Amino acid sequence: MEVNRDEILAMKVGHEFDSLIAREIFGVGEIKRNQRIKAYSTDIQFAGEIIEQLLMSNLTKNFYKLLAELSPGRAFPESICKAALLAKLESQG
């Protein structure tokens, strides 16, 4: 993965964060700056797709624990995105 734990936790919602989710969780290739992508980090409908993808990818082992830790003080879509990226990072060892 191209980012570490601290960078994930510090990321702000928006296009850059959504692009990282698209690449790391959904396997989308290169995303250009002006390319439209789903607003995973701000829209609960799209954030729900992340959970479905994690279930299919067998990456839920730590996801729910991370989600519970991250949820207080954050919007739920942002928490889902960060927990998903952290779960993938942890699965890579």
H helices of the chain, in order, are 5-10, 15-24, 44-57, 63-70, 76-91
pLDDT tens per residue across span 12-69: 999 999 999 999 999 999 998 889 999 999 999 999 999 999 999 888 889 999 999 9
pLDDT at 29: 92
pLDDT at 12: 97
What pTM was computed for the model? 0.93
Task: Tell me the torsion sign for CA atoms 68, 27, 55, 76.
Answer: positive
Task: Tell me the torsion sign for CA atoms 21, 23, 15, 11.
Answer: positive
